[in-house]
Chains A and B, each alone.
Chain A
Amino acid sequence: MRIVTPVADLQDHLLRDLQPLAPDPARSTRVRARCRAQLARSRRRSGQNEAVAGLVRRLLAPAVVLAGCALYVASLVSSVLRVRHLF
């Protein structure tokens, strides 16, 4: 008895068994190193950006709030003095 195997299956089998064309190891090493260097640069850059953002959050924002409060208090004192005709 002869069994006819679908050609598509045989094709896929042959294609799967094709010898893989391996990349050049030396160049692969260079590419990996180049990509890692780029990743390191990107990490450094994003680290710097986060540091700046952290500084803004920790120092600049409270400073702006304090300055606002100081202005408000100064204006309040000035108003009180004006009302009492002291200034």
Chain B
Amino acid sequence: MDRERELQLVGRLRADDPAAFDAVYDAFNARLHNFLARLSGSRDVAEDLLEETWLRLVTHGRRLDPETRLAPWLFAVARNLHTSYRRSRSVEDEHTASLPSLWPSGSPAPTPLEAVESSEAQRRIAVALASLPVRYREALLLVAVEGLRPGEAADVCGITSEAMRQRLCRARALLAQRLADDEGLQLLGLNEVTP
């Protein structure tokens, strides 16, 4: 979406224009869902947070700054909602930790997300990505998957550009380590390319 069209859409969103909402929804719904699903590891949670993200846009549309960049704004809302969700879950987990016998024990079964991955390479990278701490996962998702600039990703996460660059560096190193641990790169021959 070019900047001129984006500014036009922001202006129309400020006037509660349903057609502008539809255009933004079509452009970002799948991307936001992918981001939230990979961040949370659950499609159900992603759907709930996605709905809340869109409702926030509708509620706050009139108060958008005319210069708002839609992608960072929407991803920031989605990311903040996920952070709040995790906080509330950690409180719940504290309460339920004392009741371990009610849940099945042993290694967890593959999640539906893992089952969806069509190829072995995709499965390995998805599993390695899902195993990263959230702050690294969100950095990689925003920059490498969603194509945001590091500066925009920094705005989304509420950190400086320099901190985002460092976070990306660590995230990539950690991802490479996880893939190596899984023998992903070696098995696939992806760390070296022979012409």
Q: Of B61, B144, B176, which one neighbours A15 at CB under 8 angstroms?
A: B144
Residues in A neighbouring B194, C-beta threshold 8 A: 2-3
Among the 9-residue stretches A31-39, A65-73, A74-82, the one with 4 or more Cβ atoms under 8 Å from chain B is: A31-39
Contact between B144 and A39, CB atoms less than 8 A apart: no
Q: With an 8 A cutoff between CB atoms, is A21 at the interface?
A: yes
Contact with A along B11-31 (1 / 0, CB 8 A): 000001010011001000111
Give the total number of A-B pairs whose CB atoms are below 8 A apart: 112
Assembled-state Cα–Cα distance A38/B121 (Å): 43
**Chain B binding site: helix, strand, loop or mixed by DSSP?**
helix
Q: With an 8 A cutoff between CB atoms, is B59 at the interface?
A: yes
Residues in B neighbouring A57, C-beta threshold 8 A: none
Residues in A neighbouring B57, C-beta threshold 8 A: 35
Q: With an 8 A cutoff between CB atoms, is A42 at the interface?
A: yes
Nearest B residue to A20 via CB reads: B34
Contact between B176 and A35, CB atoms less than 8 A apart: no
Q: Of A14, A15, A16, A23, which one neighbours B33 at CB under 8 angstroms?
A: A23
Q: List 14 A-B contacts (CB under 8 A).
A: A5-B192, A7-B191, A11-B172, A11-B175, A18-B145, A19-B122, A21-B37, A21-B46, A22-B33, A23-B29, A23-B30, A35-B21, A36-B18, A43-B16
